[in-house]
Structure 1
Amino acid sequence: MKIYFSGSIRGGQQDTDLYHELIKALKQYGTVLTEHIGSKKIDTNSSDQEIHDRDMKWVRESDIVIAEVTVPSLGVGYEIGRAIHLKKPIICLYRSINGKTTSAMIRGCSDLQCFEYAELNDAKTILKKFFTGNQ
């Protein structure tokens, strides 16, 4: 299984360690095409178009998209929208922070499965239930 993991890169650097741990957990279910999301190093060698084209190629190749949507990101929203258009299964994970939750446009979309979690282990449990069919 090819997994496209999405999370805010430029606006979500505070969550890089979390992304890294989620990617590590996802690797037991398949190949994560976007391991770089869990790295503190931002790609400065590729042009914006090269990044867009590479990531859209990976979205098309993926069997599923997992998006961590706690930190608002135009890029993540764009990837989710494109994945919906391609009829990919999509799971969105989010945390409520200081009473703020994720966008109603994400939580209200019937093409997505959205799950709120409080801690990393909660997110891992959600993923395990999904991938092992124990929902």
Structure 2
Amino acid sequence: MKIYVSHSREFDFKNDLYKPLRESGLPVEFILPHENSDEQYDSKLLLERHGSDLVMAEVSYPATGQGIELGWADAYKTDIVCFYKSGSTPSSSLQVITDTIIEYVDERDLVNKLTQALKLNYA
């Protein structure tokens, strides 16, 4: 399974998101758009070509670009799972594109809840 990871740039995503996902040991291929480059990633082309089975969106921080990506994912019929950190308030508009919006406390909890979501919906 290939999972495209969508997020805002308004936090330390390399340490707070990418690192725990890479270290999770989950048997999936994470597509981390800014792991090795700050250049614009062509997520529209990826989603258009169905190059991702799932979009995992970290939605704790509002981001216009991420909203566009999630719109593309929805339009191209790619499943979306949203996660937000406890204490933040994700946009209520997310309910239009997914039924799966999950709160997490820390990086360990994020990985545990992603693992559970994958087992429940994609096993």
Aligned equivalents of 1:77, 1:131: Cα separation in 2: 22
Q: CA deviation at 1:6?
A: 0.7
Distance 1:15 1:33 in 2: 13
> Whole-Å Cα distance in 2 between the matches of residues 109 and 27 of structure 1?
31
Question: Relative to 1, partners in 2 of residues 1:125 and 1:109: Cα closer, same or farther, differing over 3 Å?
Answer: same
RMSD: 2.5
Structure 1 position 116 matched with structure 2 position 113: no
C-alpha offsets along residues 61-107 of structure 1, whole Å, 9 cap, x if unaligned? 1110001011111111111111111111110000143xx4111111x
Unaligned runs of 5+ in 2: none
Letter in 1 for 2:12: Q
Counterpart in the other structure of 1:80: 70
- Residues 1:38 and 1:117: Cα distance change in structure 2 (over 3 Å): farther
2:34 aligned residue: 37
Unaligned runs of 5+ in 1: 44-50
Work out the percentage of aligned pairs sharing the same amino acid: 25
Could you state the TM-score of these two structures normalised by the residue count of structure 1?
Answer: 0.74
Which amino acid counterpart does residue 71 of structure 1 have in structure 2? Y
The TM-score with structure 2 as length reference comes to 0.80
Max radius of gyration: which structure? 1
> How far apart are residue 5 of structure 1 and its match?
0.6
Which residue of structure 1 lines up, in the alignment, with residue 113 of structure 2? Answer: 126
In the alignment, structure 1 residue 7 sits paired with structure 2 residue 7? yes
How many residues of Structure 1 are paired with residues of Structure 2 in the alignment?
120
In structure 1, give the amino acid aligned to 2:93: M
More helix by share: 1
Counterpart amino acid of residue 7 in structure 2: G
Q: Is the strand fraction higher in 1 or 2?
A: 2
Q: Which residue of 2 aligns with 1:19?
A: 17
Contact residue 86 and residue 105 of structure 2 kept, 8 A: yes
